[in-house]
Amino acid sequence: MVVKPIKRLYPQLEVANQYPALHFDLSQLELFFEVIFSFHQHDVSGELSIAFMDSSAHCELHGKYLQDYRPTDVITFPSDTENGLAGEICVSVDQAKEEAKNRKLSFEYELGLYLIHGWLHLVGFDDLDTVDREIMRMEEQRVIDHVRKLNAWPDFRLASESAEG
């Protein structure tokens, strides 16, 4: 009898926190993604890489791969099924701090929104034109409401500015 390996239903997270002041409970982040993964039918599997970056590294990445060195919130790289990669979501923690302040939202909400946005790109949503952008915003809100209902929001927090210096 030949036993075939069972295909994972959801991607496996690989988290790279390149932002020393950012802290979170990894199990809460995994729960957050389990809820998000279950929200849409998809065939995305393998390793999903999540990178938390500072604005300098994020802008460099944006320029290298998209020829645009301006600050942005999230960069998503598509899956590579041949190599077992579900995709990559790179978020700018500095951008989340700035936008949360400007929009009068919590930092943890803003950073979580970037992760949701990146995942939606990986499962086929786009925001290049007005109609698609509106559809994506509505889908983001549906996912946000679902995550909140299940109390699965990540506990992102930043070390105090005085402790960083």
Domain boundaries, the chain: 13-154
3-state DSSP call for residue 70?
coil
Q: How far is Cα 38 from Cα 107, in angstroms, rounded to an integer?
A: 24
pLDDT number for residue 79: 87
pLDDT, tens digit, for every residue of 140-152? Answer: 999 999 999 999 9
List the chain residues with pLDDT less than 70: 1-9, 161-165
The values of phi and psi at residue 125, to 5°, are: -80, 150
Q: How far is Cα 104 from Cα 165, in angstroms, rounded to an integer?
A: 26
What CATH architecture applies to the domain 13-154?
Answer: 3-Layer(aba) Sandwich (3.40)
Residue listed under structure tokens 């409401």: 145
> Which residue, 126, 30, 111, is CA-closest to 78?
126
Tell me the residue type at 24: F
pLDDT, tens digit, for every residue of 43-58? Answer: 788 899 999 999 999 9
Task: Evaluate whether 154 touches 32 at the Cβ level (below 8 Å).
Answer: yes
pLDDT number for residue 113: 97
